[in-house]
């Protein structure tokens, strides 16, 4: 956040100064609690006037096939019908030339995407980047020559604190642009498929707010509103925003021509420290990430980390748990260095980790298999750290061939093969690559014995040829 706040907060500080002798001092001069009823009546209007023009409405339409009642298929009338499905959400203009950030789930599968500006003009948009792991999508609208749009500055300084005032701006329920206020109620809320550390806020977020802006009192973008926890489907004061650090990385990648955000990897399996582990390790509190295993030749191994090390800090920031450590590394740019503070036995050591993209070794070699064998209709790919990261798999799964897609007409679906299965062996022949699998199924067999890894369990089954 910038050092200079808008008039609203400046007034708060001025009012607080009159009673300085009675008020406690604050750690930062630009943060002060309201000191009177007058201060409580101050307006957020200056912040809204600055931020709201850069928040847009987004609609995405796609054609879906809807199956009619199976009863009519008995008479040859069960032909699927096409219908247009639409999703609505919000977005934020982050570059004056028409670059917009929103949630991936707002535009996923969209064949026609329309961005509605705050001045009610509408423009078609195309997707520059769609990243399901972070649930971010970067759009581009083509503007008339010479036109520049209002933007929200991305504030990824990381100095947001629990208790800071924030505004959530978006288009819930498609009623028009709406502003709600609240505070940051928690930081670094880890979890979810993307492995992010979300900003939690009690500012009301409802359906349609997805992709909208979470702004600070400078009117800067500190997060993109993504989802809520609610039993009713409406806001219950527990909303989550994707941090600006992640947003900036996605925008930089998209503008630079990238199609996917590159996430550096640690190259280690880590475990969060609980109370019992903390006592056994001599720690005064449960904190940090225990290095349980190292990937040979990975960044952690080359940095000098060892099995049993506990990473307590990364780049000067406390490591709360294993998820927080992975997040801190994944949000760095490849090539950057990250100093780590490590507890090793009864002493503290310092190591430096270099942020690197997970290697695509072996090469993907993605193929769709066909023929008289159990894998007919399955698309498979070599398993590598890069593929494991892309699909959110454990890098320590080991060798094998990953099933990424199943064709509805092939034998693979008939026998129950699933997306995410890892093929380990065929008729006693160890499978370590797509080439191995292609060779193993080349000749017809009277029976096929197949070993796969599914959800951490290895299963072997036999099928007739």
Active site residues: 105, 135, 210
Contact 299, 173 (CB under 8 A): no
Contact 118, 247 (CB under 8 A): no
C-alpha to C-alpha distance for 263 and 207, rounded to whole angstroms:
29
**How far separated are the first and last CA of the chain, in Å rounded?**
65
Q: Which region holds residue 102: left if phi is over 0, alpha if psi is between -120 and 50, else beta?
A: beta
How open is the CA angle 257-263-265, to the nearest 5 degrees?
150
Cα distances (angstroms) measured from residue 324 to each of 287, 295, 305, 320, 334: 11, 19, 17, 6, 18
Cα distances (angstroms) measured from residue 207 to each of 90, 210, 239, 393: 10, 7, 11, 30
The per-residue b/e assignment along 362-379, b for 16 or more CB within 10 angstroms, e otherwise, is bebeebebeeebbbbbbb
Q: Which of 251, 244, 175 is nearest to 206 (CA)?
A: 175
C-alpha to C-alpha distance for 128 and 125, rounded to whole angstroms:
9
C-alpha to C-alpha distance for 115 and 465, rounded to whole angstroms:
53
Please, what sign has the CA dihedral across residues 251, 256, 258, 264?
negative
Place of tokens 């509190």: 285
Q: Which of 162, 240, 139, 254 is nearest to 194 (CA)?
A: 240
């Amino acid at each position: 956040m910038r050092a200079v706040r808008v008039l609203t907060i400046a007034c708060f500080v001025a009012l607080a100064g009159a009673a300085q002798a009675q008020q406690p001092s604050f750690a930062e001069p630009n943060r002060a609690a309201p000191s009177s009823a007058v201060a409580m009546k101050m307006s957020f209007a200056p912040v809204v006037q600055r931020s709201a023009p850069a928040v847009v409405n987004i609609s995405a339409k796609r054609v879906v096939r809807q199956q009619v009642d199976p009863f009519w298929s008995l008479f040859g009338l069960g032909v699927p019908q096409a219908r247009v499905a639409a999703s609505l959400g919000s977005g934020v203009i982050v570059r004056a030339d028409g670059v917009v950030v929103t949630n991936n789930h707002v535009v996923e599968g969209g064949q026609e995407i329309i961005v509605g500006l705050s001045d009610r003009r509408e423009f078609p948009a195309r997707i520059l980047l769609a990243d399901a792991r972070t649930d971010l999508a970067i759009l581009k609208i083509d503007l008339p020559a010479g036109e520049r749009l209002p933007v929200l500055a991305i504030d990824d300084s990381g100095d947001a604190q629990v208790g800071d005032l924030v505004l959530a701006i978006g288009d819930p329920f498609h009623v028009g642009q709406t502003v709600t206020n609240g505070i940051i109620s928690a930081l670094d809320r880890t979890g979810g498929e993307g492995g992010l550390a979300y900003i939690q806020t009690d500012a009301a977020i409802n359906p349609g707010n997805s992709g909208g802006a979470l702004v600070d009192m400078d009117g800067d973008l500190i997060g993109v509103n993504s989802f809520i926890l609610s039993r009713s489907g409406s806001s219950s004061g527990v909303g989550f925003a994707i941090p600006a650090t992640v947003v900036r990385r996605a925008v930089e990648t998209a503008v630079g021509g990238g199609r996917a955000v590159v996430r550096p990897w640690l190259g280690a399996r880590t475990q969060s420290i609980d109370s019992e582990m903390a006592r056994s390790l001599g720690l005064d509190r449960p904190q940090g990430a225990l290095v349980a295993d190292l990937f040979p030749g990975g960044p952690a191994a080359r940095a000098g980390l060892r099995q049993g090390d506990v990473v307590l800090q990364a780049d000067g920031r406390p490591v709360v748990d294993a998820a927080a450590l992975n997040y801190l590394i994944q949000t760095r740019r490849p090539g950057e260095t990250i100093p780590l503070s490590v507890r090793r036995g009864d002493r503290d050591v310092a190591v430096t980790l270099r942020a690197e993209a997970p290697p695509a070794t072996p090469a993907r070699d993605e193929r769709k298999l066909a023929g008289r064998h159990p894998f007919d209709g399955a698309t498979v790919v070599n398993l590598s750290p890069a593929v494991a990261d892309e699909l959110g798999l454990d890098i320590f799964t080991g060798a094998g061939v990953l099933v990424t897609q199943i064709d509805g007409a092939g034998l693979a679906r008939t026998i129950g093969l699933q997306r995410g299965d890892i093929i380990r062996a065929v008729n006693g022949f160890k499978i370590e690559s797509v080439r191995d699998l292609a060779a193993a199924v080349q000749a017809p067999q009277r029976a096929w014995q197949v070993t796969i890894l599914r959800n951490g369990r290895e299963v072997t089954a036999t099928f007739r040829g």
